Structure 1
Amino acid sequence: MKAPALLTIAAAVGLLGMRGPAVANPNTDLSVPRFPPLVLYVARGAGGCGDGCDEWIAAEGGFDIGSAQRLRTFLTQFSDRIPPIYFQSPGGIQEEAIAIGRLMRERGVTAGVGRTLPYGCAPGKDGEDRCLTLKRSGLPLAGELQSTGASCSSACVYALLGAQVRLVPPDARLGVHASRRVRVYPDGRVTRLPGDDQTQLGQATNELKQYVQEMGIDVGLIDTAFKTKFSDAYFLTRNEIVQFGIDTRTFQETRWTVLDSTSRRPSVFKLVVETHGDEGATTSLIQLACANAGEIQIGYVRAAAPNEIAPALVRAIAGDHRMTFARPGPAVHVTGLDNDTPYEPRSLSARPEFFEAAISAGSMVISESSLRPDSPHVLRLATAGLPEAIATLRKSCRPQSMASAR
């Protein structure tokens, strides 16, 4: 006797592609899943998931049938505190994601969005196969957690909402779109239901709104998601992430992260998000790159509020070292940040000793002096990742640029 097919809700950006329309005829296969089933493993790294956080759970792949039960079983190995769970997922079966969300709320779990990179993994097909074997071994894996390139989309977002504490780094993405009722077969095939059966989607949508409200999230998230058809994806802005109540922390920052580390001229960046109550959230970018005469350029790109008078004086401070940024150039729009927001770019050049002082002090400060009553506005930037970033710049910039660095 054949096992019956399961009627369920699909919400998976990975099924039909991250961007752009895709066509699926009624009653045709949507996928013999194009992403692997959800895999769970423990990862470890000193400070890998933040100050004092050396262990986390990686959850990668699609929310397939049985993934919620697998997580429940997986968590039985933790008798006391459960490490934070970091998702990297294109989505999957919505009911499974919601069940995972409820399970995390029940257990008081912290969850976030992040890519886990085990040290035993290597690029290429053979490396990917070996990596998947490692992840399924049940053994803790040494590795690092990165937010750059991390995403939690579609059904994954609904799982994330269930966490007691939600962590969405400034450079991670949350993708949403409308759901679709599908039939999931025991052999893994997923087919779209005929149009007549889609009438039940309304009831499922109401149940989804109820779940979102139970998790303390603004139901406007669902309205926003359902404005985007199933074959496309919409990525929430930082303001929407805050306004919907997904991650309302007043201050967030990424590690100092190297871009194109193997190129001749790599660069380093850090993103900072500040939440200002009713004013919403603003994102700033700090970038490091090679300069001439043994110096490193610091670029500071800050969101410019409408009708704002630019700060008269902006300084970078590291220990006893103080540097002043040049007056800002014309406002620009920055790809990857909020597209509708104009950004004000400034720059200065500093010698390597400035960054050594910052590393010794444990922070670098950017101070903005203006006519605002709360002036000066101070950004205190952690140095996580900065030693490695400066080391990369020293190796990769022109020899004469870094000749004086010790």
Structure 2
Amino acid sequence: MSFALTTIGTETQCHGSCPEVIVADGEISNETADQFVTFLSEHLKDSDLRPVVLLQSPGGTVVGAMQLGSAFRKIGAAVIVAALTAEPGSNIAQVTPGSCYSACVYAFLGGKRRVVPPVSRLGIHRMVIDEAVRDPSGAMERQRIYGSSEFVSSLSAYAKLMGADPRMIAYAERISPDAIHIVTAEEIRRWRLGGPRL
């Protein structure tokens, strides 16, 4: 995952001092939370920086996502599922609909305030790790490893700690890892995942 700053608004709109927010984009690894903390430390003196994160990710590791979510919560971040897209032939970038799939949802849960605009998407499914292993003949084959009941319980406890309904985890664990369930507005409300606006 990469991190960058972007300015929200124009100088005219903000009277010369527009707020900066954090753009987090890409796959989440077990090193992502540390990279995020390092990024923040490099911008501590930036007076225009606000604890707002635009989050866009296809997923990654569940442990890494939980650690990133915990880092978001530590700074009291508002997390918005959104992307930053540069206009063709211009240096101007716009906030556009985003997607947060798979393990990304667990990073999203770390937001003190969580926003899923109606045009953005949250997607969940069963957690799985695909590992390459050698079969008895020595050939490589793919082996799927699913989260243990203990790990699912830990993830549920994390969701509850972050103020979300852990029943979302149980629901996600029933969705094939080869599919994705796009969370509906009703589910976002019922599972206390966030709201449609900041």
Deviation at 1:202, TM superposition (A): 1.4
In the aligned structure 1, how far is the partner of 2:151 from the partner of 2:187? 23
Q: 1:232 aligns with which of 179, 182, 198?
A: 179
Deviation at 1:183, TM superposition (A): 4.9
Q: 1:209 aligns with which of 156, 167, 180?
A: 156
Structure 2 residue runs of 5 or longer lacking an equivalent are: 133-140
In the aligned structure 1, how far is the partner of 2:72 from the partner of 2:149? 26
In the aligned structure 1, how far is the partner of 2:125 from the partner of 2:119? 20
CA RMSD of aligned residues (A): 2.7
In the aligned structure 1, how far is the partner of 2:76 from the partner of 2:119? 25
**TM-score, normalization: structure 1?**
0.41
In the aligned structure 2, how far is the partner of 1:227 from the partner of 1:194? 16
Residue 110 of structure 1 pairs with residue 78 of structure 2: yes
Q: Which residue of 1 aligns with 2:7?
A: 44
Going from structure 1 to structure 2, the CA distance change for 1:41 and 1:142 (only over 3 Å counts) comes to farther
Deviation at 1:106, TM superposition (A): 0.9
**Where do residues 343-358 of structure 1 align in structure 2 (5 Å cutoff)?**
none
Q: Is the 8 A contact 1:44 1:143 kept in 2?
A: no
Q: Is the 8 A contact 1:90 1:152 kept in 2?
A: yes
In the aligned structure 1, how far is the partner of 2:144 from the partner of 2:52? 40
**Where do residues 133-172 of structure 1 align in structure 2 (5 Å cutoff)?**
142-147=92-97, 150-172=98-120
1:92-134 deviation digits (Å, cap 9, x = unpaired): 1111111000011111111111110135x66xxxxxxxxxxxx
Q: Which residue of 2 aligns with 1:23?
A: none
In the aligned structure 1, how far is the partner of 2:85 from the partner of 2:184? 26
- Secondary structure at the residue paired with 2:100? strand
1:355-390 deviation digits (Å, cap 9, x = unpaired): xxxxxxxxxxxxxxxxxxxxxxxxxxxxxxxxxxxx
In the aligned structure 2, how far is the partner of 1:53 from the partner of 1:156? 28
Deviation at 1:55, TM superposition (A): 2.1
In the aligned structure 2, how far is the partner of 1:248 from the partner of 1:192? 39
Going from structure 1 to structure 2, the CA distance change for 1:53 and 1:204 (only over 3 Å counts) comes to farther
Runs in 1 of length 4+ with deviation above 6 angstroms?
50-53
Deviation at 1:224, TM superposition (A): 1.7
Going from structure 1 to structure 2, the CA distance change for 1:53 and 1:216 (only over 3 Å counts) comes to farther
Q: Is the 8 A contact 1:41 1:59 kept in 2?
A: yes
Structure 1 residue runs of 5 or longer lacking an equivalent are: 1-37, 123-140, 185-190, 254-406
Residue 65 of structure 1 pairs with residue 30 of structure 2: yes
Going from structure 1 to structure 2, the CA distance change for 1:192 and 1:73 (only over 3 Å counts) comes to farther
In the aligned structure 2, how far is the partner of 1:53 from the partner of 1:243? 35
Amino acid at match of 1:212: A
Going from structure 1 to structure 2, the CA distance change for 1:192 and 1:102 (only over 3 Å counts) comes to farther
**TM-score, normalization: structure 2?**
0.81
Q: Is the 8 A contact 1:58 1:86 kept in 2?
A: yes
- Secondary structure at the residue paired with 1:232? coil
Going from structure 1 to structure 2, the CA distance change for 1:192 and 1:82 (only over 3 Å counts) comes to farther
Q: Which residue of 2 aligns with 1:218?
A: 165
- Secondary structure at the residue paired with 2:148? helix
Q: Which residue of 2 aligns with 1:86?
A: 54
- Secondary structure at the residue paired with 1:63? coil
In the aligned structure 2, how far is the partner of 1:225 from the partner of 1:192? 22
Amino acid at match of 2:105: V
**Where do residues 219-298 of structure 1 align in structure 2 (5 Å cutoff)?**
219-248=166-195, 252=197
Deviation at 1:180, TM superposition (A): 1.1
In the aligned structure 2, how far is the partner of 1:226 from the partner of 1:99? 20
Amino acid at match of 1:72: V
